[in-house]
Amino acid sequence: MPEGPSIIILKEAVKEFKGQTVIDATCNNGAIDAGRLINQPITDFKSWGKHFLICFPEFTIRVHMMMFGSYRVNSHRDKPARLHLQFENGELNFYAAQLLMINEPLDDLYDWETDVMSGLWDSYKAIEKMKAEPDLLACDALMNQQMFSGVGNIIKNEVLFNTHIHPLSKVNAIPPKKLKEMTNEARRYSFDFLKWKKAGVLKRHWLAYNKKECPRNHVPFMVKDTGKSQRKSFYCELCQTLYR
């Protein structure tokens, strides 16, 4: 599943279509009325965490890549696209993505301050939301899109390893300074993720995710599905403190 930085890359890749008019559109699963997009200009592209937003004058199309979604800019695959947008001088195609048509103003639906890559990101808000759920586990907090929009399983694992926090730690037991460190690291690492992914070297920088051995202690990582999300965690029981 693409994480927030990957959606930023998508947003940059399609900027040439901002201001252009859709001359043809198809949706192969009927999730949205593609005919409504024809002859409509794209006013903007936005992102909120893992949501990619295609803005038109009176509505927005939300694209969520889920686990296996992909896209093509000015090219296409042999199979029909889930959403195809044709422009006078190009095309945009999404595959295996979840689509939703939004008619409400985006500011009524999205809290931009929870997006870890937004200029409006508010770390204090994230901390207050965590404190309101004292039994919340660190691994679940980081994956909670209403607290850390854009953080996925890769970033979760790397943040917890970098801050020496065990994924099963309860947020109410994590010292305030450490909780702030975890919160700030989620944003910092997201921008590193973006930089490394653009350079094609992201995997070289993973210290925990999909790794077998702790690079600090040279002992095998524990690998378990953790928290309510039951997403895989890679952690070291020697250097990642369990707060409970």
Domain boundaries of the chain, sorted by first residue: 4-109, 112-235
**d(C-alpha 85, C-alpha 67), whole Å:** 22
Q: Is the pLDDT of residue 1 over 80?
A: no
Confidence of residue 134 (pLDDT cuts 50, 70, 90): confident
pLDDT in tens, 93-115: 999 999 999 999 999 999 999 99
Q: Look up the CATH number of domain 4-109.
A: 3.20.190.10
Query: pLDDT digit string (tens) for 41-54?
Result: 999 999 999 999 99
Task: List pLDDT tens digits, range 82-98.
Answer: 999 999 999 999 999 99
CA distance 157 to 22: 40
Contacts of residue 208, defined as CB under 8 A and 6 or more positions apart, other chains included, come to 157, 158, 160, 161, 214, 221, 234, 235, 236
pTM exceeds cut of 0.75: yes
* 195 residue type, one letter: K
Give 181-239 pLDDT, tens digit per residue.
Answer: 999 999 999 999 999 999 999 999 999 999 999 999 999 999 999 999 899 999 999 99
Which of the pair, 2 or 116, is modelled with greater confidence? 116
The answer regarding whether domain 112-235 maps to CATH 1.10.8.50 reads yes
| pLDDT at site 2 | 85
